[in-house]
Structures are given as C-alpha cells and as structure tokens.
Amino acid sequence: MKKSRKLLTAVMTIVFLFVSTASAFAAWSSFQKNNVSNGTIDTATETDGSPGEEKNIQLSRVYLVDETKYKSSDNAYNLEILDEKISQIVFHADVKGETITMGVYWDNFAFSLESLKSEIDLLLEGLNSDEGIVEKPSPRITENDLNVYYYEVIEQTNANQKSSNIFPQLRHVKKINSIELSDNRPIVPLNQLSSIQAVNSSIDGSFHFLGLANEIWWYNQNNGNISLCLPGLSAPHGGDGNARYEAGHQWFPNTVRVDFADRVFGGVSSVSLRYTYDQQTLDNLQLDSNEALEMEVVFYNYNDGHSFFDETKDIVSWSTNQPNAYLDTRLFDNDQEASYCVGVADASDLIANKSYSWDIRKWGLPRSGSKHDGRFKVLAQRSYATFPIGAPYSIFAEEHDPIRKLGVKDGYKWVDVSAYDLTKWTFDSASDPVQ
C-alpha cells in the first residue's frame, strides 16, 4: 500500500507517551541489554470509544476455515448475511499443486451476486487459457474448485464496539482482523498486535526501537543520533532503515514483463505483470523477517479518467500465483496516477528462478483523450507489515529505501512508449535503466 483511497483521509497512530531524552537513552540501554536484533517487538493497541460518540466505519477481513467451498451452502448463507457490506472476496484454488489466489473487489459499487458470478467467470476464463498466470490446467478449474479465503467487509459500528454485530452469525469463521476508518479520527487497530521490526543491521545499522513506554525511537548510525518518531499512515516508522539499492544490494526482480490487453467485444481491459529473481538478488530482498514486495503498474490519469484502464469503472478482479498475496489499495495515492498491483505480504516465501505473476482485469476499454493518455511506468516497492500479516491496510513502503522506477530513461517520468501501442513491455536489470 503506498498512498490513497477515496474512502479515507485517515492516519494511523500508535498510542504512546512523549518522554524525555533521558527516557530515550534508558529505553536504548534496555533495548541493547535485551539484544533484540532480528526479532519482532509486539505492542497491544486497543482503544474504547465512549457512549454517544459518532458511528465509525470499520473495515474487516473475515477469514474462513480452510476448504470452505465457494459453492457451499455455508458460503451462500454468509453472502446473504453480509450482502452489500462486502467490498472484496478473495479465493484460493489449487492448480497442479500450486496455490492460486484470486479476488473480486467492489470500489464504490454495491456488491451483488450477479456481479460476483460475472467476475468469477472472467477469472476462470483467464486461469484456464493458454496465457494464464500458470500453465493451462487440465482438467479445467471450475467454481467447484474455489475455496473462500476471506471476505472484506465495510460497515458502520458504534464507537465502543470491538466487532461487528453480524459476525457471530457467520459460519466457518477462522479469524477476523479489523481496523476503524474515519475522516477525522486516526485508524485504530482493533484487538490486534502492532509489530515493530527490530531491524537487521547488515546494511547500515540504523533502525527503529521501542521505548519503555512503547514510544518509537529511531537510531541513526550515520550520526549516532536518537530521535522520537511520530508514526502515521504516511510514515509508520516500522521499517528497517536500510537504503539497500544505494548500498549496492539490488532487491527488485532481475526481469519484469508487463502485458496489456483489451477485449473490445467483451468490454474488458487487463494488465498482467511477471517477474523472476535470481538467488543473490532474492537474498538481498529477504535480509530480514519483515519484508513485503509490491510490483506496480501505474497509468497516466491526468485527463479526467482517460487512461489505459477506464477509471470511471469500479469492479476489479485479480489473480496471482504469488504467495501471501493481496490487492494493493490506493491509500494516499495520487488519483491522477492510477496504480494497479497485487502485492506479497511476506516475501520470505518467494523462490528464486520461479516466474511469479499477477493479472488484473477491469470493466471498460481504454479511453483516449490526449496523446499522453497511454503512458505508464512500472514501480518496485520494498515494504513491511505494521500489523500482523492479513490485517487490512497493514503494508507500508520502506521509508528509507526509495520506490524504484524500472526501465524509464533518465530525465523521463514515464515509459516513452504508450501502452496503447504495446502488447508487451520488458525490463532486464542487467541492461535497463533504474531510477
């Protein structure tokens, strides 16, 4: 997750105390004494609302027990209970021993069984094609092969509620991760543990650590200074502080390929991204235990929705063979740069020399209004989790390792060829520019 979703203008805070510099050094001494160099430090962050406060918006991921079939009566019952509160449904399917994750996302558009069925048909059509994200399966993958992984649910709750009143009615629930969203109040993780990584110091030795009152401090090895961090959604301050690429440790994939397609008769456009790592480069990414990866395609959208994807349309379907996958949101993104990505929440499960890919489809065809409308760029973002993996809005860009723009010439902001004129674009880190 990089930065914006229309629903929100929120920031996240971790409740902490302002303490003196002396307290900081006491915390630092305690940190050194405990020698927590590669572990995860957990702090509980839970708040109670007061009666009479305004209702809050709560976003939840409701995970189901394994093997809850999409075609089961339990899922049908849950869908009837949740109905228009659903913003996304994510599925798993086993294809030749490999787990494929796919989802349907309704952005500012009401959920319906009809739209769900239509999107699933599209997903299965792509998965069973010769150009799917994995080798064409035989026999074909059908609705009967889909397992429901989780529902993403948005609803209003009272300020003092810890969970939705409807969740106890659901069947086959494994766990629920929730956060509160508000236009004028911070995001508050509900009943969750917030993880702050005690950073691997193998690059430059700078890192964040927790103080005695659970406040967050930053130790800068370059100058030896310790400073108090004020975490928020735009700067959560839980990253590892490593500027790895500048230090000679390439962490983004060695090769990348992007495919563009639009089906005029079907009224659907799609973009897919594939990438591979060699072992050394993957080792550079997996230096510590809290690494996420987002490989993103961004389209020029400065002309009122005229982009490769029709930005006036809302329903998105996606699929991937990446492990620990999620559809990236646009929290704090610039709406004039339409970003699309399926990220990896835990990069430790990536394997070298394996082809990973994601595919995103959206209703609507490219809308051209000016010569710039087909422009695009491919970004690589090294990230980390601030809540336990699986919580909504829990992945953030590493603050000290800039997002990298791949294959764009120096002095340019975008790839110098329009997506309207391409079916395929490739990047090779051995020969192509990186910004």
Q: What is the CATH number of the domain that holds 280?
A: 2.60.40
Residue 40 included in any domain: no
Residue 329 included in any domain: yes
On whether both 148 and 264 belong to a single domain, the answer is no
Beta strands in 107-237 (DSSP E): 147-157, 173-181, 188-190, 192-197, 207-210, 216-220, 225-229
pLDDT at 380: 98
Cα dihedral sign, 9-14-16-22: negative
Residue 33 included in any domain: no
Q: What is the mean pLDDT of each run of 10 residues along the chain (435 residues)?
A: 31 27 45 33 33 69 94 97 95 93 88 93 91 88 97 80 79 88 46 35 56 69 74 60 84 97 74 97 87 94 76 82 91 77 94 97 72 88 76 76 94 90 94 97
**Separation CA 321–CA 380 (nearest Å):** 18
On whether both 292 and 396 belong to a single domain, the answer is yes
Calculate Rg over the CA atoms of the chain: 22
Residue 433 included in any domain: no
pLDDT at 164: 67
Residue 117 included in any domain: yes
> How far is the CA of 186 from the CAs of 56, 116, 328, in angstroms?
11, 32, 20
**Separation CA 364–CA 358 (nearest Å):** 19
Query: Distance between terminal CA atoms of the chain?
Result: 20
At 428, list the tokens.
Answer: 């090779």
pLDDT at 307: 78
On whether both 280 and 367 belong to a single domain, the answer is yes
Count of domains for the chain: 2
On whether both 265 and 385 belong to a single domain, the answer is yes
On whether both 262 and 396 belong to a single domain, the answer is yes
Domain housing 138: 56-161+176-187
pLDDT at 206: 61
CA atoms within 13 A on the CB side of 406: 28
On whether both 153 and 274 belong to a single domain, the answer is no
Residue 247 included in any domain: no
On whether both 262 and 407 belong to a single domain, the answer is yes
On whether both 408 and 265 belong to a single domain, the answer is yes
On whether both 283 and 415 belong to a single domain, the answer is yes
On whether both 182 and 283 belong to a single domain, the answer is no
Name the phi and psi angles at 176, rounded to 5: -135, 125
> How far is the CA of 328 from the CAs of 4, 201, 273, 293, in angstroms?
10, 28, 14, 11
On whether both 181 and 267 belong to a single domain, the answer is no
**Separation CA 5–CA 77 (nearest Å):** 30
pLDDT at 396: 80
Are the beta carbons of 386 and 295 closer than 8 angstroms?
A: no
Are the beta carbons of 40 and 290 closer than 8 angstroms?
A: yes
Residue 232 included in any domain: no
Q: Within 10 A of 430 (CB to CB), how many other CB atoms are there? A: 6
Burial environment of residue 227 by CB neighbours within 10 A (0 to 12, 13 to 18, 19 or more)? exposed
The identity of residue 338, as a single letter, is A
On whether both 180 and 267 belong to a single domain, the answer is no
Residue 2 included in any domain: no
Are the beta carbons of 387 and 195 closer than 8 angstroms?
A: yes
